[in-house]
Structure 1
């Protein structure tokens, strides 16, 4: 999960106090702070769709020992300014941010806007879509000025339509037996992504949480996995960036290969951004 904790104030042209980044792979390069972030955005440019009409990029942050959050159960307690720099660019390039309703509630999501100073990278509105089996929408989003899209199954349709306008509700689910919907009716993520693409929202950025990322991986719907590792050690307690039950009859998904597209490193040690943060972009082949 990535944090939505408010950053320090920005100037009209964007922040210039963020840490520089070294591109370790594919070739050594230095990216000093840049209000327009055009070179960093080029590294994260979306590729063509490989699994249909959409491209799904996941962005997560983890500690060195694999924790997905810190003592406050929020990712903001383990991220830093180097992670924030990448986070802003990823949001600037996406059409829609996809999150689980639990993550939206825990991280305090509200209606999204393009990061200040980066609207030149993509001038369309940035949409938010949440996934919820029950159809319950976090109150802060239901009462907001711009409602999110809600991906839910038949059992959650009524609750979702009671919380947000009906045209923002995408009913894309079925129960395990394929009969009448029950409280555990699954959300068909593939159908949900297709429905978003039909609305012009093909460049998808999912920010978790771990259960949603696990479900997307299990359905082979993730094209890219971007993982920032911050130089922190949390210890026992927090979960990994991927969670959820493994497919029936298994203990884990079969291991699959991934190709490293690039690896960034923050060399500077400063308050809020200690040296050693890395940001990796992994490309996942179709399973």
Structure 2
């Protein structure tokens, strides 16, 4: 892997390249897309991924306080609990050995007996709303840390504030596109990490933001490259 912007460097330190800004909360989106903007291939992001993307994916998880994903992404991508990794020892010093997964869901329509809820090293968080079925909320509270944020739908501002209140201020969101769009529409996104695969997909795949309109102006902070895949890091303009 090499860095091609802002300077040219071979084999950059990935953890250093993606370090969070110290002393402030930060919400980062991490997504992969085809060259024509598709967020998945045959319904999953894995078909667009690469070995470099997988390495960066793991480092970004290790750097984060919490990993957020929508329920649809958790189901489609087959999420399990985050596993401890020896390579994270330094970047997670003073914190739990793994970040928890936080699942955003309005309906609580998933299997609470899944390993994501029963075998997580760091207790899984579920973020839902008042309209979620009452019995399902009670059941979920027995298996995870339950956050109720919003009435008819999850209020993203309240959800992020609740994570901050738990000391989880470095937030990594892995999608999907609808969750990303909601976060952007509520002006909550500080950074986008985007892997661009040298592939054309076409068809009906969503873009990495799919839903509410948003306009978030960002600066290109860094570009890495490996095997034709570009890894771009965009951050909020400093004036904002």
TM-score normalised per structure 1: 0.75
Matched, 1:277 2:229: yes
State the alpha-carbon separation in 2 of the partners of residues 49 and 151 from structure 1. Answer: 25
Unaligned runs of 5+ in 1: 1-20, 33-38, 175-184, 247-251, 267-274
Number of aligned pairs?
232
Structure with bigger gyration radius: 1
Call closer, same or farther: CA 1:115–1:238 in 2, change over 3 Å: farther
State the alpha-carbon separation in 2 of the partners of residues 228 and 142 from structure 1. Answer: 26
- Residue 120 (structure 1) aligned to one of 74, 90, 95: 90
Matched, 1:145 2:125: no
Matched, 1:227 2:194: yes
Contact 1:62-1:241 within 8 A present in 2 as well: yes
1:170-185 map, 5 Å: 170-174=147-151, 185=152
Call closer, same or farther: CA 1:161–1:111 in 2, change over 3 Å: farther
Aligned residue in 2 for 1:28: 8
1:96-107 map, 5 Å: 96-107=66-77
**Which secondary structure does the structure 2 equivalent of 1:194 belong to?**
helix
**Which secondary structure does the structure 1 equivalent of 2:171 belong to?**
strand
Q: Deviation of residue 143 (structure 1)?
A: 5.1
Call closer, same or farther: CA 1:91–1:166 in 2, change over 3 Å: closer
Q: RMSD value over aligned CA atoms?
A: 2.0
1:5-154 map, 5 Å: 21-31=1-11, 39-48=13-22, 54-71=25-42, 73-123=43-93, 124=96, 125-139=98-112, 140-141=114-115, 144-146=118-120, 147-154=123-130
**Which secondary structure does the structure 1 equivalent of 2:106 belong to?**
coil
Unaligned runs of 5+ in 2: none
Contact 1:101-1:138 within 8 A present in 2 as well: no
Call closer, same or farther: CA 1:116–1:233 in 2, change over 3 Å: farther
Aligned residue in 2 for 1:36: none
List structure 1 runs of 4+ shifted beyond 4 angstroms.
none
Q: Deviation of residue 55 (structure 1)?
A: 1.2
